[in-house]
Amino acid sequence: MSGIYSLRDADRSVKLAAVLFMLVLGYAYIFAFFMVKQYAGLTPADVATTYVPRKVEASSLPQRSSSTTQALDLSTMKQEHHRVDTQLLIQDSHIHIMIYAMIAALQTLVILGLGWSAGFRDLVILLAFGSGALDFAGQWLMKGGIGGFAWLTIASGWLMTLVYVVVLIGTLRAVFGNNRKRDAAAGA
């Protein structure tokens, strides 16, 4: 059952670091949510608009240009939808995939002390690393023109959130949970 160490029995400083890491990570995720909502949107259609390129291939264009004109009210004019082009996605990928790996590794350090079964522990570790990888896999597949993969990026976000919440609850239970039952069982 046990991992590399027991967070429940660890030094107070270790517990403090684990709890604060998880809470501050959640704090950062809240702002990440607002950033994504503002710049990419939360629906598959909005996410696809952000990443799927509008390719300009001569073969798919009409022979002659055409245009439409409409009156414009500047006071209600909306900003253009944020778009992530290939160059920007390269930059995003090289930074964020590395950060995802670091966060997953730090969460793993906490997971190893939660006393979970080996199978469950490995599953959560796998999901912690995999969700970040799937996030960018979805973005690159969309960049390849496959808008349907917006669901993969959105689903990986939910997966990352699920991992976070599971580890947070495990951490809080280990640190603040009632140890009397366990101590009584150990004493009996």
Partner 1 sequence: MGRRAGVATLAILLPLVAGAAEHITPTVVLRKRADVIRSTLPDASQFFLKTVQIGRQDLSRIEQTADFKPEDSRVKFYYGQNGSGSLVGVVLFPQVNTQHGPFEVGLTLGPDGTIRDVAPTKATVETKPWVEKAVRTGFLDDFKGLSTGEMPDRALQALRSADIGDMPTFAGEELAEAVQHGLALYQVLYAGSRSGSAN
Of positions 1, 63, 181, 188, contacts partner 1 by CB under 8 A: 63
Task: Identify the residue among 88, 98, 102, 105 touching partner 1 (CB under 8 A).
Answer: 88
Give me 139's structure tokens: 């973005």
Task: Rule CB under 8 A: say whether 74 interacts with partner 1.
Answer: yes
Q: Which of 176, 179, 182, 183 binds partner 1 (CB under 8 A)?
A: 176
Q: Which of 113, 111, 107, 123 lies closest to 2 in space, CA to CA?
A: 113
Quote the tokens at residue 154: 């959105």
Report CA-CA distances (Å) from 51 to 28, 103, 127, 160.
Answer: 23, 24, 24, 20
Point out which span in 5-13, 78-86, 108-116, 118-126 binds partner 1 (CB under 8 A): 78-86
The C-alpha atoms of residue 188 and residue 58 are separated, in whole angstroms, by 80
148 binds partner 1 (CB under 8 A): no
> What is the contact mask toward partner 1 in residues 42 to 61, using x (rule: CB under 8 A)?
x----x--x--xxxx-x--x
